[in-house]
Amino acid sequence: MKSTPIGIVMLTDERPHVHTQTDAQNMEVVKGWARIIREKARNADGSSYEVVVASQIVHDVRSAQKVGEELSRANVKQLIMCYNVWNFPFLAWPLVNSIGRDIPILSLSNNNGQFPGNVGLLATDGALRQAGFKTHRIIGEMDDEETIAKVIDWVRASEAVTTIKNEVYGCYGGHSMGMETGFPHLTPTLKSLGLTVRQIDQLLLVKMMEQVDESEVERGFEWFTEMLGDRIRYDGKMLTPETLKTQIRLYLAMEMVNREKGFDFCGLKGQRELTEHVCLGDVPEMLMNDPYDWRGPKEPTVCATEAD
């Protein structure tokens, strides 16, 4: 499944007599959280996320710049800033500015008196928020299941935001029957999600259906017939073998256009022009969203009915 790399780092105290005594333990905390995320944040297909661990604990300007540049080269799209002991908050700037400002940031701290990471979090995260960064705070111990669950929830939410950014939505046909509530208006979508919408007339799908390999249509039809048998309720009018084949043909045409135009996901208007003059869109939409078809397992392509 699609995902984006996660960077994880820790800031500490600038004073040598402090950070030299705590760096090893702090790195264990960073690696521990990285391990938890890799093990717990698994997708439906069993895959996990790439977690990039900083090569060292940040204790001064140069180490902050070095780590930030490393994470930038690793193409991290979200950043987890861990806190275990007191740190010098200004070190956040050479770190974050080396990575990029437009990334989700999780501030993650322990919650005990022996190691005052929480104090460092409040000071550093407060500075980030004052400067306009949107951050999220989680405070708790690494062996606490509730804290772990919150971290995994944030990872999944952040991955959703960073994965969809810069994707392209293929909108086949526009408003379905003029429904506004789910329609992806271009400018608000760009501003809020960072993705673009390309509108394609459904006529292109109709023309591409003429180029579909008919032997592939027959294989799809045979697959449905063998799998469903008499559960396919042909009525001789709305649903016939030929109308089912037409929907399979539309599915294959959508695949072709999605690939040609570079669409990451898509939506089909359907009503009323396509549904009344060509075919319904339900079977193509179902097959797009499924993790398999007659050719075997595949990556699902999110496809919205009525282009919403």
> In the chain, what are the domains?
6-164 (3.40.50.1070), 168-305 (3.40.275.10)
Give, to the nearest 10 degrees, the angle between helix 117-130 and helix 92-99: 60
User: Tokens 């090569």 map to which residue?
Assistant: 55
262, with CB counted inside 10 A (0-12, 13-18, 19+), is exposed
For position 62, what pLDDT does the model report? 98
What does the alpha-carbon distance between residue 279 and residue 250 come to, in Å, rounded to a whole number? 8
For position 43, what pLDDT does the model report? 84
For position 84, what pLDDT does the model report? 95
What does the alpha-carbon distance between residue 115 and residue 107 come to, in Å, rounded to a whole number? 16
Q: What's the whole-model pTM score?
A: 0.87
For position 269, what pLDDT does the model report? 93
Q: Count Cβ atoms below 10 Å from residue 71 Cβ, excluding itself.
A: 26
pLDDT mean for each 10 residues of the chain (308 residues): 95 92 95 97 89 98 98 98 95 96 95 86 97 96 96 97 94 85 83 92 97 98 97 93 97 98 96 92 97 96 91
